[in-house]
Structure 1
Amino acid sequence: MDLTGKAQRVDARRVARYIPQHLEHTRSWLQRALLAGEARNIAVRLKGELADFPFDTPRSTGLFRVAFQAQGVNLAYVPPADGAPPTWPAFEGVNADVVFERGGLEIDNGRARVLGYELSGVSGGIKDLQHQRVLALDGQGRGGGAELLHYVRASPLDEWLDHALSSTAAQGPVGLRLGLSIPLSATRAGASISTARACSSPA
């Protein structure tokens, strides 16, 4: 098979349709995680024997690549179970370069907001879309201490910290370094976070 395709603009909620059904867990996560926004300048390239898809072995000569620019995307990186309220606040207004290539997903040059707190330099992805589906994200943040505390209290971080910040007040700008490792469950994509680490200091 030899296929090339392009599109200027697509609703982000339809991006999963560009991912082969063979990657059903990844498609499921995308369908639940992408809440709003657009994918722009989409480029699709597929070349090779479909029996070898997604061409992620050392000997494979095939090519699978879907690249686009995320614009104004709202991302529920840990989608809630059906009918349940979200446990982690969604990233809002995500702008980033996104590439699905062979067996992996790469995110680069990302910017976003979470409950008013600004994130930048977000990068990461999923190294193995078939076997070890873990979404890893790293980034930096800058914004008001009140917004950062709001995020902590609105997420499982508050419980993990034994509510130590429940009565804390923050004033002025605060810088943040954040790393997330999110396993995409084989039965419910993105249902849990295995590790989250954050340290903040005055900006």
Structure 2
Amino acid sequence: MPLYKSISVNSQTTVKIWKIEESYDDLLQPLDLKSESLERVLSMKSELHQRGFLSVRHLLREFGYTDQNLFYDVNGKPHLKDGRHISITHSFTFSGVIISDKEVGIDIEKQRHKIAIIAKKFVDYEFNYLDENADDYVQKLTVIWGIKESLYKLFATPGMLFKDHFLVIPFMLEDKQTVAWIDYEDKKYRYNTAFLAFEGFTCAYVIP
């Protein structure tokens, strides 16, 4: 399947999501990969990861870019050669890319009950408004994780901790948006966040 969803966040920012239904060969065939990208995809042990990697390159094409336009810094953060900002995610059968004139982050996660088991590792302040007996507990945890993962990708600073440095303001699932903060080394940064659910997955993304 080609493009699954395209979201115009604002005049400078677009999110595109791909549902990965093609075979590895069908995804690889039309792409012009850099030698290091081809080496990377061939070294992946899981075909699911290979297809995720390749589907992201198809999303780049949807934006008018190719694999040649993309590079990674020492922290593993992706960049575009023209100076626009990009963030990338893939999870099982979905991948996503956000591109903007501003710093951005995106994450897609499968909604799974096991997130409740690890909640204490990434949730602190948010326990004040979460109800672990509520029907939407797993979905809300998945949103919080996705937002914090997106913030981490945007900031790309080693040493940051989801639990200690990231804060997600109370929200309802139907709001589809909330505000998040980074509180790090005596500085505070505010971010607008949005999230959506589809086919048992949650996508979250953040912009300043």
TM-score class, shorter: under 0.3
> TM-score, normalized by length of structure 2?
0.27
- The structure with higher relative contact order (CA 8 Å, sep 6+) is 2
Higher helix proportion: 2
Higher strand proportion: 1
> TM-score, normalized by length of structure 1?
0.27
Q: Which has the larger radius of gyration?
A: 1
